[in-house]
Structure 1
Amino acid sequence: MKEHHAKLTILSTLADGDFYSGETLGAALGMSRAAISKHIQGIQDWGVDIFRVQGKGYQLAQPIQLLDENYIRQRVSTPVHLHPIIDSTNQYLLDRVGSLTSGTVCLAEYQEKGRGRRGRQWISPFGTNLYFSMYWRLDAGMAAAMGLSLVVGVAVVDALKSLGVDGIKLKWPNDLYYQDKKLAGILVEVSGQAGEAAHLVIGMGMNLSMAQEEQQIDQPWTSLAQVIGKSQIDRNALAVALIQSWVRTLETYENEGMTNFVARWNAVDNFIDRPVKLLMGERVIAGIERGIDAHGAVLLETEQGIESYVGGEISLRSNE
């Protein structure tokens, strides 16, 4: 992280939203104003908006709250690793599966190679959203991991409710929605051998304040700032609530399986009792979505009756 020290120090200074001259920043870091200007350009490459006003200096387009590792660690029961800059929080944990305590969390301000489901790139400006992953050892094995993205989705809804955020829905199998717009995505990656414990790395990216036009993706998005009507979100309190909820929920899932989660999922299913299209490769199935079954499969009612579908290549789209 040494190569990013100057940029991170500048960002920490600018985070309060005030103006700072190149001379002031340079004096603090022992470098020239030209060197500061070069680092500012590097910060802008991370997706951060910084303005320069003649006679005043540099200012962020809006203040940012940086994640506080000590604050989070003091409020959760599992190990926490915070990396301002990282390739991918999921990959960081996957590379260390053999040495991690179950429940270990990796958070980042900026992912250089963040990814979503089916290898899609996750767009990740510095300090704008919330990206984190958790390692979980599931002794019940690989088969028991099938409903994990659904269970974690329920945990995220619970965490947001605990912070006073209502109206969040789930889209099978791994997205969070608000008023038919995507708020967050969950990615579960599983490794292990048959007959042995499953090693799970569960990642989530939540849009906190980034606008639709900044994301350059082909589906409607919303942000938590839009949902709650506030421009500033306490990212540290949100991280703590999510980690606590994930741990509680995963412990329950470990002991009880999907039993208690089917009704909880169906109560917040964004597409339940609505017409949908289920896309399975080249195959398209139209019907009425009827929630999930005891195994976490999505239920679709067609002319043939109600059938269940599950698999990594299935995606769901509203057909209204």
Structure 2
Amino acid sequence: MRNHQNPLKLIEILADGQFHSGEELAANFGITRAGINKYIKMLREWGIVLSSVQGKGYCLASRLDLLNKTKIEQYYQSDNQIEIVPIIDSTNQYLLDKIASLTSGDCCVAEFQSKARGRRGRQWFAPFGTNLYFSMYWRLDQGIAAAMGLSLVVGIVVANILRQLSGKNIKVKWPNDLYLDDQKLAGILVELAGKTGDCAHVIIGIGVNLMMTHPDPSIVNQKWANLGEVDRNLLVAKVAQTLKQTLTEFEQKGLTAFINDWNRLDNFANRPVKLLIGDHIIRGVAKGINEQGALMLEQNGKINAYIGGEISLRSDE
């Protein structure tokens, strides 16, 4: 594994948003200016936007609010692990690889993901220090079938937290996104491990755009929104705490207890939409969800249910 200790130390120095000269940085690390340039190149590869001014040195385009375990624990004291892994391939994959040692409610957060993924294996744009990259492990003793509708419940939890922290009108989009002003703000990826008849091991991944700039257009190919500046350590704590409480309730009551919350937050409620199923387009008016988490569409005076698979929801306005 590549050693990221010095590049991460450099980020901590630059996180104050001030200029730091190449000479100062080289002396700090006990290396040459060329060595500092290599670290600067790595930071840019991680999506960090830097200014370089002759005679002044290097400066971040904006101050970074770095993840800090002590600060997170000030907001949320728990027996569960909340592990910070600054540079990671994928927070979901990290937890999947260590399921045997996890307890329900254990979490992982990162500053940067090199192989972040979204639904159906899509790549997810994950620059350093500007967004939330969060995953939680949960064990469902009732088995895989009990996970039906779980991504919808997670969406409700995260939408409510973001509304509380930002005061903005965050909405949910079936089956796994959050929207702000009809633009994608966040995505949820629920991955399951286990055999039919056994307990289900669930990894819940959450990515939220906070202060993202200049996303790669080959990855981000739809309208997107930023939440804006929030205390990321507080956000991690609130998501971890509220998600753990809500998943306990979900295990006991199922999706039915959350349908009204979904309908209250539904971005497309009573709006014309189109479902993309492979090459087929199905049109209708969105009418919320049913007890199985299926999308309800009004079509020619009838209500029809659609669920899962390769379905993609879009506005048809």
- Which TM-score band applies after superposition, normalised by the shorter structure? over 0.9
| C-alpha distance in structure 1 between counterparts of 2:175 and 2:26, whole Å | 49
What displacement does 1:61 show? 0.9
What displacement does 1:103 show? 0.8
**Is the 2:165–2:230 Cα contact (8 Å) retained in structure 1?**
no
| C-alpha distance in structure 2 between counterparts of 1:2 and 1:274, whole Å | 49
- The equivalent of 1:229 in structure 2 is none
- The equivalent of 1:165 in structure 2 is 167
**Equivalences for 1:162-241 in 2 at 5 Å?**
162-211=164-213, 213-216=214-217, 217-225=220-228, 232-241=229-238
**Is the 1:76–1:243 Cα contact (8 Å) retained in structure 2?**
no
**Equivalences for 1:229-308 in 2 at 5 Å?**
232-303=229-300, 305-308=302-305
AA partner of residue 236 (structure 2): A
What displacement does 1:2 show? 6.6
Q: Does residue 136 of structure 1 match 2:138?
A: yes
Residues 76-130 of structure 1 show CA distances to partners (whole Å, capped at 9, x for unaligned) of: 4221111110000000001111211111101000000000001110111111111
Residues 4-52 of structure 1 show CA distances to partners (whole Å, capped at 9, x for unaligned) of: 1110010000001011111221222111122111111111111111112
> What is the TM-score with the length of structure 2 in the denominator?
0.95
**Is the 1:73–1:79 Cα contact (8 Å) retained in structure 2?**
no
What displacement does 1:304 show? 6.0
Instruction: Report the identity percentage.
Output: 53
Runs of 5+ unmatched residues, structure 2? none
**Is the 1:158–1:245 Cα contact (8 Å) retained in structure 2?**
no
What displacement does 1:59 show? 0.6
- The equivalent of 2:61 in structure 1 is 61
SS in structure 1 at match of 2:186: strand
Distance 1:89 1:101, change over 3 A: same
Residues 192-248 of structure 1 show CA distances to partners (whole Å, capped at 9, x for unaligned) of: 11121111001011110114x4241221100011xxxxxx32111111111112111
**Equivalences for 1:43-54 in 2 at 5 Å?**
43-54=43-54
Runs of 5+ unmatched residues, structure 1? 226-231
> What is the TM-score with the length of structure 1 in the denominator?
0.94
Runs of 4+ residues over 4 Å off in structure 1:
none
SS in structure 1 at match of 2:64: coil
User: Is 302-311 or 166-175 further displaced after alignment?
Assistant: 302-311
What displacement does 1:283 show? 2.4
What displacement does 1:258 show? 1.0
**Is the 2:178–2:185 Cα contact (8 Å) retained in structure 1?**
yes
Q: Does residue 19 of structure 1 match 2:19?
A: yes
SS in structure 2 at match of 1:277: strand
Residues 174-197 of structure 1 show CA distances to partners (whole Å, capped at 9, x for unaligned) of: 000011011000000011111211
Distance 1:38 1:149, change over 3 A: same
| C-alpha distance in structure 2 between counterparts of 1:106 and 1:138, whole Å | 19
The correspondence for 1:150, drawn from 152, 163, 167, is 152
SS in structure 2 at match of 1:19: coil
AA partner of residue 132 (structure 1): F
AA partner of residue 30 (structure 2): G
Matched residues, number: 313
AA partner of residue 91 (structure 1): Q
What displacement does 1:165 show? 2.6
User: Is 68-77 or 290-299 further displaced after alignment?
Assistant: 68-77
What displacement does 1:70 show? 2.3
| C-alpha distance in structure 1 between counterparts of 2:168 and 2:20, whole Å | 39
| C-alpha distance in structure 2 between counterparts of 1:312 and 1:235, whole Å | 33
| C-alpha distance in structure 2 between counterparts of 1:164 and 1:19, whole Å | 30
SS in structure 2 at match of 1:16: coil
SS in structure 2 at match of 1:224: coil
